[in-house]
Amino acid sequence: MEGILERYQRYSFEEKAVLDPNIGDQANWGDEYGRLKSKLDALQKSQRQLLGEQLDSMTIKELQQLEQQLDSSLKHIRSRKNHLMFNSISELQKKEKSLTDQNGALQKLVEAEKEKNNALMNAHFREQQNGASTSAPSPSPSTIPDSLPTLNIGPCQLRGTGGESGPEPSPAQVNSGKLPPWMLRSVINR
């Protein structure tokens, strides 16, 4: 219980010290304000001089010191810039090497895929040739289009695809003024 009371008194005392500052502390604050104000003025003046402003009141020695300070700062800036550029270049070189390696791996993969496809095509071609020599000839190109999807324009249907047994319409009926004559010739040749 005593420990709790001691802590309470200590915290309440510290709180009172913060809320009720001594008059001596206020005087110290005034002195501190004066020092900080003069420091701020000196820093602002130095900054303006570094920017090339208010140089009229400076002596030759002060100007030489300012020039040396600027040269030193410039060397430091250039050194930092070069360091960052070298780091950036090395990172880009690493990325380039990585991408080159990935590109090589992808090219090998593509080549392997091409070889695999060529081998499959050759095997399929040999099977067709072996099957064609031992069995009936392969279907002629004129019969292959019937099994492929076709595009029908207009009311005309290919033979054997429709369920109707009616007569085939003439090219003029198919055209009905919608197809140009050069397309009509290809319909007539069917």
pTM of the model: 0.41
141-174 per-position pLDDT tens digit: 444 444 445 555 655 554 444 444 555 555 555 5
Chain segment 18-60, per-residue pLDDT in tens: 555 555 566 678 888 889 999 999 999 888 888 888 888 889 9
| Alpha-helix runs per DSSP H in the chain | 2-19, 23-50, 60-134, 144-147, 171-175, 181-188
